[in-house]
Structure 1
Amino acid sequence: MDWRNPIIKYLTDGKLPSDCLEAKKVRNRSFKYQMYQGELYRKSWDGPLLTCVSTEDVPKLLAEIHEGCCGSHIGARSLTIKITRAGYY
């Protein structure tokens, strides 16, 4: 199951999971996210909306990031900033 599905269902339809604890988690986390043109984005305090990706897409995106604009050997903080500027969460 994709981690984004409960949040998407809550934001689009207002439906929460049947488990009370899980429903509380989804409700508390949902304010950090926004649906835009059918895609889930995480709101950031100091930058653009960040694209939320599934766990299956992570290896492909990591390869893309390491080969593309963030391909140099830099520190963790600098790499995180570049990934955020590229619009990924």
Structure 2
Amino acid sequence: GLELSQPSVMVVKPGESPSFTCKVSGYSVSDSSISFATGWVRKPARKAMEWISNIWDDDASSNSVSLQGQSLQPEDTAVYYCVRNPPQ
């Protein structure tokens, strides 16, 4: 089956630029098919789920994707999820 694993908790201070990594199993992150694309969403408290526009990179050797946060601020507080895009 498919599995996407990421750290359960990460605490970031304002102004920091952390990297979030998601390990994928069950498909290849380097697969060019859109149905296997992996991306990121976040869920702020009391708000709707949001797609993340930050740049993310895939690493075929570890079959993982990383999201680079850039100078995060208190308003960026949210639960972040890596997700597999649904088949088109």
Short-chain TM bin: under 0.3
Q: Which has the higher strand share?
A: 2
Q: Which has the higher helix share?
A: 1
Instruction: State the structure with bigger RCO (CA 8 A, min sep 6), 1 or 2.
Output: 2
Asked which structure has the greater CA Rg, the reply is: 1
Tell me the TM-score normalized by structure 2. Answer: 0.21
